[in-house]
Chain A
């Protein structure tokens, strides 16, 4: 089945130690998104890629970076995780340019910072 896959599902990292979360998709969608979701809150968009064009949200901290080496993969890099970065990180994709633009979400990666 075509889908959005996030690895790992659970990630524990040390305070200040760089960590990378990965996302892959088999939907051939042109847009990939990274959301941060803290407990009992709505997902918050960090940034998105439209093809190779990177679009950062104005309030996304510099500590968060992203890479999209090809259509299928997108990575979220947290350069120096703080305790406040513990959250669920959701990857999503969509195909902008057609009528249906809903986002398809992966299962998420729950990040714990110790």
Chain B
């Protein structure tokens, strides 16, 4: 069965510092992988997606993620955190062409001034 694990339910960084949010997936076949962001009382917004093209994926708001098959990881990074990045981030996986998107438990990012 496919699953998504996000390491760390809470991550706190200082403004301007590197953001690293960790995600590992478990699947015998690399799935489609996504990162979504959710602001309070809002729906989920797609940050970026991996669909077996480039392993380094660039998304919106300066975020990027690298797919590493050997590590079954898809960690999300941003070189310099901004206060507006404070939100909940969800890593998600989907088998190609499938209906079900499996979400990780989420990581809440706090950004300190």
- Whether B46 lies near A106 (C-beta < 8 A) is no
- CA separation between A45 and B98, bound complex, in Å? 14
Interface residues of A, count at CB 8 A: 28
Say yes or no: A105-B44 contact (C-beta < 8 A), given A40-B106, A41-B106, A50-B99: yes
Q: Number of B interface residues, CB 8 Å?
A: 25
Please tell me if the beta carbons of A108 and B97 are within 8 angstroms of each other in the complex: no
Asked whether, in the complex, the Cβ of A103 is within 8 Å of the Cβ of B101, the reply is yes
Contact present for A31 and B43 (CB under 8 Å): no
Give chain B nearest CB distance to A4 CB in angstroms: 8
Flag the segment in A14-22, A63-71, A93-101 that touches B: A93-101
Determine if A90 is an interface residue (Cβ-Cβ < 8 Å).
yes
Interface residues of B in 37-76 (CB under 8 A from A): 41-46, 49, 51
Give chain A's interface residues, CB within 8 Å of chain B: 4, 6, 31, 40-43, 45, 48, 50, 55, 88, 90, 92, 94, 96-97, 99-108, 110
Give me 17 other A-B pairs in contact (C-beta within 8 A), A6-B43, A97-B97, A101-B98 excluded. Answer: A31-B99, A41-B105, A42-B103, A42-B105, A43-B44, A94-B99, A96-B98, A99-B51, A101-B32, A102-B46, A102-B94, A102-B101, A103-B44, A103-B101, A105-B43, A106-B43, A107-B42
27 contacts between A and B (CB under 8 A): A6-B43, A31-B99, A40-B9, A41-B105, A42-B103, A42-B104, A42-B105, A43-B90, A43-B103, A45-B101, A50-B99, A90-B43, A90-B44, A92-B43, A94-B99, A96-B98, A97-B97, A100-B51, A101-B97, A102-B46, A102-B49, A105-B36, A107-B43, A108-B41, A108-B42, A108-B43, A110-B41
